[in-house]
Amino acid sequence: MTTVDPRITDLRQRIDALDEQLVAVLAERVAVVREVSRYKTDEASVKAPDRVEQVVAKVRALADGHGLPADLVERLYRLLIAELTAVELACVEERVAGRP
């Protein structure tokens, strides 16, 4: 049996705590996306490519300011936006179809 350096154990615990915070923030972002979907009526208003590019530019700048690779943050955000766009489209479609 190999022994894990206690420093690694401590760092893993910090990572676990950060993961909890990240998931909580993602849950909050999803809730806000669902709320925003109440004010949209069609696919074009949901997809909003200009807004997507605005968000990507903003997070790239934030990444730079925090010493993170901007390309990595952009890829993560584009995936997040694509997934949340699907959630938002489903919310709009349900509302337009008269489903709660």
88 in any annotated domain? yes
61 in any annotated domain? yes
Give per-residue pLDDT as tens, 39-97: 998 999 999 999 999 999 999 999 999 999 999 999 999 999 999 999 999 999 998 88
1 in any annotated domain? no
pTM, 2 dp? 0.87
From the list 69, 80, 70, 72, the residue with the least C-alpha distance to 28 is 80
Domain of 91, in residue numbers: 6-96
41 in any annotated domain? yes
> Which CATH number is 51's domain given?
1.20.59.10
81 in any annotated domain? yes
Q: How far apart are the first and last CA of the chain?
A: 55
38 in any annotated domain? yes
Q: How far apart are CA 33 and CA 29, in angstroms?
A: 6
Provide the domain count of the chain: 1
75 in any annotated domain? yes
Q: What pLDDT is stored for residue 18 in this prediction?
A: 98
